[in-house]
Amino acid sequence: MNINIAVLIDGDNIPSANVKEMMEEIAKYGNPTIKRIYGDWTKPDLNNWKKILLENAITPIQQYAYTSGKNATDSAMIIDAMDILYSEKVNGFCLVSSDSDFTKLATRLREAGMQVIGIGEKKTPTPFIVACDKFIYIEILKTRAKDKESEDDKDSEKELFDKISSKEIKLIAATITDLSDDEGWAFLGDVGSLLQKKRPNFDPRNYGFQKLTPLIDSIGRFEIEQRDSPNSRYKLIYVKNKVKYISKK
């Protein structure tokens, strides 16, 4: 099924850098048929967006700040989202913001059967993150010029990635147990899907890995086995806890 996605960007709360990478990421999940960004375009701090909008076919929506201290952008974005929802032109939404004010909107859209993807900075409050089906940190979408890598780049890259904690390792182990057969093996694809449901911001890229398999392999607490697929030339990957983990349900 082809998923049409409405991309709504909080221009007051999201940096203009890495928009190209952000749009490429969104394209993995569906076709961004509606792309809008909200903000007060009379303010000089939004000037960096103007060229980027043309390059990525994003429509700017003007929203004046009528009252000091009130975020009119949030209100305009929420009203538009509900109008788009009732138009039945899309199957999903991508809300780009680091603002927890969109928590209720994400929840309402999911209640209506929409797939909701969130994109924001690592400072994004947890309520907004867990209200989405999937949440992606902007920081992991950043790219560097490969031919001009310096020591400073390496240091900044180390700061970019989180170190996987015992809490996340236990989450992986419990998820494998939830899905395992009588011998303890679980299909990695199912493990990844359930991890996403349990923790919308769980992403191997947060820890410096492009895929789940090398992340799990690096931990050293799980067995990995490749099996032939009867319907494909690609191998099926299964994982197992080396030490039996009792899931507390």
78 and 41 together in one domain:
yes
121 and 209 together in one domain:
no
Task: Please identify, among 107, 141, 175, the residue that sits at the C-terminal boundary of a domain.
Answer: 141
Position 92 in a domain: yes
Strands 59-62 and 92-96: unpaired
> Residue 229 and residue 18: Cα distance in Å, rounded?
38
179 and 217 together in one domain:
yes
Q: Work out the burial of residue 39: count CB atoms within 10 Å of its CB; fewer than 13 is exposed, 13-18 middle, 19 or more buried.
A: buried
pTM of whole model > 0.85? no
Q: Which CATH number belongs to the domain containing residue 49 in this structure?
A: 3.40.50.1010
56 and 96 together in one domain:
yes
109 and 208 together in one domain:
no
* pLDDT for res 212: 93
Q: Identify the segments of the chain with pLDDT beneath 70.
A: 1, 65-73, 143-160, 244-249
Position 44 in a domain: yes
Position 151 in a domain: no
87 and 181 together in one domain:
no
Residue 93: closest CA among 106, 75, 74, 78: 106
Position 118 in a domain: yes
> Model confidence over 221-232: pLDDT tens digits?
999 999 888 887
Beta strands in the chain (DSSP E): 4-10, 31-39, 59-62, 92-96, 115-120, 134-137, 185-187, 222-227, 236-241
> Residue 247 and residue 79: Cα distance in Å, rounded?
42
Q: Which domain holds residue 50?
A: 4-141
Position 50 in a domain: yes
177 and 129 together in one domain:
no
Helix (H) or strand (E) holding 105: helix 103-111
* pLDDT for res 103: 95
Position 248 in a domain: no
136 and 171 together in one domain:
no
> Residue 7 and residue 4: Cα distance in Å, rounded?
10
* pLDDT for res 69: 45
Position 228 in a domain: yes
136 and 180 together in one domain:
no
* pLDDT for res 144: 38
Q: Which CATH number belongs to the domain containing residue 221 in this structure?
A: 3.30.420.610
133 and 177 together in one domain:
no
25 and 119 together in one domain:
yes
* pLDDT for res 248: 52
Position 213 in a domain: yes
Give the chain's domain count: 2
> Residue 92 and residue 97: Cα distance in Å, rounded?
16
136 and 182 together in one domain:
no
* 185-187 sheet: strands from edge to edge: 185-187, 236-241, 222-227
